[in-house]
Chain A
Amino acid sequence: MFEWLFKYPLSVYRDAEFGFNFSPRIELVLLGLAALTAGIVWMYRREAQLTRRKRTALAALRITGLALLLVAILGPQLKLHKKEKSDGVVVVGIDASKSMGLSAGSGSRFSRARDLLSGKSGILSRLSGATEVRVFAFGSNTRLIKPEDLATLEPTDDGTNLSGALKDMTQSTRGVPLEAAVLLTDGVDTTSGDATAMARYVASRGATVHAIGIGDVSTAPDVEILAVHAPRKASCGALVDVNVMVQRGSYAGPLEVDLYQDVNFIKAVTVPPSLNGEPVLVTVKVLPEKEGAQSYRLELPKVAGEVNLDNNKRVFQMQVEETRVEILIVEGSPRHEFAYIRREMWNDKQFKVISLVRIGKGHYYQSGDTSSMLTQGFPETAEELGRFKAIILSDIEASYFKPAQLQLISDFVKIRGGGLLMLGGVNSFNLGGYQDTPIAALLPVSLNVEHVAPAFDDSEFAFQITKEGATHEVLRLSGEASENLAQWNLMPALRGVNPLFKAKAGARVLATDSRPGPNGANGVLLAVQDVGAGRTAAFAPANSWRWRMLRPLDDDSFRRFWSQMMRWLAVGSKEMLTLGTDRDTINVHQPLVLTAQVLDKTHRPSNDAKVVAKIKDPFGNTDELSLPWILSEDGVYQATYRPADKGDFAVTVTATLAGNTLEKSTSFSAVESSVEFAHTSMDTAALRQIAAAGNGTLDLEANADKAVAAILKQVSEKQKLLDLVEERDLRDAPVLLLLIAAAWIAEWFLRRRSGLA
């Protein structure tokens, strides 16, 4: 009956709000009602034959009928708030890396994390009541799992990639609103990924990142080798600096880092004290004495009370080669400058100096190379010249070279990335007629000065290094700029120089003449610049050997200067075939990226090579792997390899191009994941940063409920925003029509009885 009269059941009315479809301002409605009432009262007051009582009753019935009509016109309706389940997603990731297998009170970290997730009162159960939940296991990689798979999941991943986990979990929700991401982890990240940045990205999508820290915060002393930076390649017999980052933690006592080659102890280097708990940099000088892949180990001895020793050692490898940086010196005639520079380079085991000295017309003195390649003079092909990393033009005139050879030198610098140095002398720079040659465009000094090439200046002058020179690697006699400047001020005056007065824009002037030149500016003595892929330098003095003869015997400034100059020049030169791995040491079963770059005879990247890698495992078995050209970059070939066993692997790559075969070797080590145990205590600082960046919270496992509550609250708030309001019209409710009709009929009867109808 109620439903027939009122159109809907009583329960609907209980949950609903009453309202109107048309909602004019209440003042207007009241004004209208007042006007209506006044009009009706006034109308019935004119009926003098009626008693006051009847007039009141008739007016009341008329007002009631019209008021009900007005209600019907305004569109009465019921507003039903319909709550629906959110269509967003919460992603939950459980860290399944090996460090989660560490014991943590009752059970392992992983089992405790699993317990937090599972069960009726577990996180998954509670969250899935409010929203959709997707579960992931992460470590070296991230994979979607079913909640029921948690029971059989084990922490076996060799690494932890928190940023990768956040990224993969987030990307899996594309097209669906992401509510929150929850990480159950000890925070031990073994990658260089920026998890904080990734959390920030997740937050930018309107979601939150919550971290639930699993594990203990250790207070025991724990010294650690954080990182080892060693060159992949080293020259046999040349000292190599290996930089080791050591974290002392709370330990402030005496500490040394021990260097071993294979199992043989080499030396110990003292670790200096730490300032404010910052990591300490220790430089260990290593002298490779054997060719081939050499394995070294750095180890911090156990300190008192230290529990975790897994992070005390690091292994690194170096490919030791006999090859030296080949440098070609072309000398116009025998002179002391050449002899002294060549001698220092010759004694430096990093360099192989091949010199071509013109000793007479068509006669050359060639040294440093037993091949007959240079007996005919300067190389005439890019292939011949390409074996060198740098060329020194020492007091030899431009007309000595054929135009094609000058162009060859230009290509050598710009394309091959080689270095070019011109030394001062009576046949150098302007005096050597290099204006309007391709060499002039390479040099960091302008040869086309306004005044005609000034004569060779045979007087004495001081070599003044500039502010920029004081910190430049070529002129570094001391690490401190002021000390460096002081040392250079001790250097004897030189004699004999090519007057050069204008450095090119972009060149760096490292030293100037102590005497002002004709234009008022000091002459340029040393300038350097980058050109194309290579580097060039102009050294105007002709007798730097005086630095060797006029300084004390034990002063090695002359050697250091020229050694640094050669290294600086040669640094950009490209190999015809380069081979690299993305890591020296990798965990077993992890992917290692092999990258080769191939250049053709003109030193341009080639995409037509056939590149094959042979990988020899620790047991002598060889795998063959083809490296295809990656389409995105010219001349670059890549392949991925996953070592199945631990040990040292030797890689030999051959590139076949136009009938020529190039070969390069490298090596890497596969180890059981020790990086997973680098930090055994929970990294709360990192997790806090991640949670803060993700607008979420960090809670320890005991307080995991807080995180769940925060997520549920967040989900709930979002659901309110998603409430649907259903409007049900009441204009056709029978009760309204009946009431209007009743009012009007009653009025009609009463008027009739009163003689008005």
Chain B
Amino acid sequence: MSRIILIATLLSIACLAGAEETPGPAPTGTNSAENYKKLGEQIKAAPGSGNELVKSGQFYFPRLQFQNLKPVNKPWDIWPQGDQKLRDAIKKMSNINILTDPIVVNLDKPDELFRYPFVFMTSEGAFSVSEKNMKTAREYLLKGGFLYADDCTRDQVGDDFYKSFVEQMGKIFPENPMRPIPNDHEIFTCFFKMNGAPHCQGVRHPAMGLFDKDTGRLMAMVTSGDVHCGWVGFGNLPGLDRENSIHLGVNIVVYCLTH
């Protein structure tokens, strides 16, 4: 256990030291929605920082709050800077009218959750979903919601979150298991032309998708390569693919808003 803590501490120091930009307040791990929002507000881009494209509609990029199976250093609210930087990137690169307000949603509150048809979740640890929340998640996705999950890779080598996500989705949709997303799928080409999902660190698993059985629409997606860290932009993290991580984030949002 002490070895794990030591490695995590060293990695954190390495990450912070190598950041191209100051990533703002450190990851908290406080498991608090208020703290996530507070941190998000602090690093929120200045108004008018977007490009001059005509924008319409309103798009929020909310973070899904959930409970890990056991306490981990990087629970659901890890690195809100990544979310904000992706919001800024989307604002600059596309004409999506993305709102920079940090929003937290929760499966326990479906009335709130269903007001946000896109949700992002990340963590480094395993998690489980209650029967009640499974029903909520199933309904959310079948109604047209989209869930993107990214493994924050415990100790740069873990895949607990990824595996847990695929497992939980299998329980939520027992008749429709997640499948690998082909590299030429529209989610990799609808805005930026990419060759599959980028990989920053951790175990290399294929990006998995939950496809609507009738229409083929991608309802949920999980990546194992810590794409979220790529959004944060740790400059000297070995193998960090910051550009493609941002590109994938933009593509996912464009896909969600066009399909």
**Which of A199-207, A331-339, A515-523 contacts its partner?**
A331-339
Chain B minimum-CB-distance residue to A549:
B114
4 closest A-B pairs (Cβ-Cβ)? A335-B57, A334-B257, A395-B56, A333-B95
As a 0/1 sequence over residues 714 to 747 of chain A, the CB contacts with chain B under 8 angstroms (1 = contact) are: 0000000000000000000000000000000000
Known A-B contacts A339-B259, A496-B58; A548 and B53 likewise in contact (beta carbons under 8 Å): no
Task: Give 25 CB contacts A-B under 8 Å.
Answer: A333-B54, A333-B97, A334-B57, A334-B96, A334-B258, A336-B59, A336-B257, A338-B57, A339-B144, A339-B258, A355-B258, A358-B54, A359-B95, A359-B96, A359-B254, A360-B53, A361-B53, A365-B191, A395-B57, A397-B54, A425-B56, A426-B56, A426-B57, A426-B97, A550-B111
Asked if B214 is at the interface of the complex by the 8 Å CB criterion, the answer is yes
Closest to A550 in B: B114
Interchain nearest-CB distance for B44 vs A (Å):
19
Interface string of B45-88 (1 = CB under 8 A from A): 00000000111111100000000000000000000000000000
Query: Are A343 and B144 closer than 8 Å at their CB atoms?
Result: yes
**CB within 8 Å of A: which B30-54 residues:** 53-54
Question: Is A542 located at the chain interface by the 8 A CB criterion?
Answer: yes
Q: Does A545 contact B (CB under 8 A)?
A: yes
Chain A residues closer than 8 Å to B139, beta-carbon distance: 553
Question: A333-B54, A553-B143 in contact; A339/B256 too (CB < 8 A)?
Answer: yes
Expressed in whole angstroms, the minimum distance between the Cβ of B138 and any Cβ of chain A is 8
- The answer to whether the Cβ of A367 comes within 8 Å of any Cβ in the partner chain is yes
Q: Quick check: A360 and B57 within 8 Å, CB to CB?
A: no
CB pair A343 B115 closer than 8 Å? no
B111-154 at interface with A (beta carbon < 8 Å)? 111, 114-115, 117, 139, 142-145
B64 to chain A, nearest CB (A): 16
Cβ-defined contact, B97 with A365, below 8 A:
no
Chain B residues near A553 (CB-CB < 8 A) = 139, 142-143
Main secondary structure of the interface of A (DSSP, over half): mixed
Q: State whether A549 touches B143 (Cβ < 8 A).
A: yes
Residue A546 is within 8 A (CB to CB) of chain B in the complex: yes
Inside 8 A of A235's CB, which chain B residues have their CB?
none
Whole-angstrom distance between the alpha carbons of A365 and B253 in the complex? 13
B contact residues around A395 at 8 Å (CB) = 56-57
Question: Is residue A641 within 8 Å, beta carbon to beta carbon, of the partner chain?
Answer: no
Complex Cα spacing A400 to B53, Å: 12
A357 within 8 A of B: yes
Question: Measured between alpha carbons, how far is A339 from B256 in the docked complex, in Å?
Answer: 7
Tell me the complex Cα distance, A357–B117, Å: 19
B215 at the binding interface (Cβ < 8 Å):
yes
Bound Cα distance from A397 to B256, whole angstroms: 23
List B contacts of A338 (CB < 8 A): 57, 257-258
List residues of A (519-567) whose CB comes within 8 Å of B's CBs. Answer: 542-543, 545-546, 548-550, 553
Alpha-carbon distance A361/B59, docked complex (angstroms):
19
Contacts of B95 in A (CB 8 A): 332-334, 358-361
B5 proximity list for chain A (CB < 8 A): none
A343 touches B117 (CB 8 A): no
B171 close to chain A: CB less than 8 A: no
The reply on B94 being an interface residue by CB < 8 A is yes
Q: Is B10 an interface residue (CB 8 A)?
A: no
The answer to whether B258 touches A549, judged by C-beta atoms less than 8 angstroms apart, is no
Give 20 A-B pairs besides A333-B55, A360-B93, A365-B190 with Cβ atoms closer than 8 angstroms.
Answer: A332-B95, A333-B53, A333-B95, A336-B59, A338-B257, A342-B259, A343-B144, A343-B259, A347-B215, A359-B94, A359-B96, A361-B95, A365-B191, A365-B254, A396-B56, A496-B58, A543-B58, A549-B115, A549-B145, A550-B111
Which residue of the partner chain A has the closest CB to B138?
A: A553
Asked if residues B254 and A427 are in contact (CB atoms below 8 Å), the reply is no
Contacting pair B57 A542 (CB below 8 A): yes
B217 on interface, CB distance cutoff 8 Å: yes
Q: How far is B93's CA from A360's CA once the two chains are assembled, in angstroms?
A: 8
A460 to chain B minimum Cβ distance, whole angstroms, is 11
By size class, the interface of chain B is 20 to 34
Chain B: CB-nearest residue to A340 = B144
Contact check, A332 vs B258: say whether CB atoms are below 8 A apart.
no
- On chain A, the residues within 8 Å of B257 by CB distance are 334-336, 338-339
Interface string of A321-335 (1 = CB under 8 A from B): 000000000001111
* Interface residue from B93, B117, B191 paired with A336 (Cβ < 8 Å): B117
- Is B254 a contact of A334 with CB atoms below 8 Å? yes
* Nearest chain B CB to A332 CB, angstrom units: 5
A545 close to B258 (CB less than 8 A): no
* B253: chain A residues within 8 A (beta carbon): 334
Mask: chain A, 354-374; 1 = CB below 8 Å from B; 0 = not: 010111110001010000000
Contact assessment for A343 and B56 in the assembled complex, using a CB-CB cutoff below 8 Å: no
For residue A346, CB closer than 8 A to chain B, the reply is yes
A384→B59 CA distance, assembly (Å): 33
A427 contacts across to B, CB distance below 8 A? 54, 56
CB distance from B161 to the nearest CB of A (A): 26
Chain A residue with the shortest CB-CB distance to B111: A550
Chain A residue nearest to B145 in the complex (CB): A549
Query: What are the residues of chain B within 8 A of A355 when measuring CB–CB?
Result: 258
Chain A residues with Cβ below 8 Å from B93 are: 360
Interface string of B242-255 (1 = CB under 8 A from A): 00000000000110
Q: How far is the CB of B89 from chain A (nearest CB, A)?
A: 13
A396 to B57, CA, bound (A): 11
- Return B97 CB to nearest CB of chain A, in Å: 7
Q: How far is the CA of A358 from the CA of B257 in the complex (A)?
A: 12
Which of B55, B56, B57, B215 has most chain A Cβ within 10 Å?
B56
CB distance from A354 to the nearest CB of B (A): 13
Which residue of chain B is the closest to A394 with respect to CB atoms? Answer: B56
Q: Which of B56, B114, B145, B217 contacts A332 (CB 8 A)?
A: B56
CB pair A550–B57 under 8 Å, yes or no, is no
The chain A residue with its CB closest to the CB of B140 is: A549
| Contacting residues, chain A, for B114 (C-beta < 8 A) | 549-550
Q: Which residues of A contact B191 (CB under 8 A)?
A: 359, 365
A430: shortest Cβ distance to chain B, in Å?
Answer: 14
- A337 contacts which of B57, B142, B217, B259 (Cβ < 8 Å)? B57
Q: Judging by beta carbons under 8 Å apart, are A336 and B145 in contact?
A: no
* Per-residue A-contact encoding for B1-31, CB less than 8 Å = 1, 0 else: 0000000000000000000000000000000
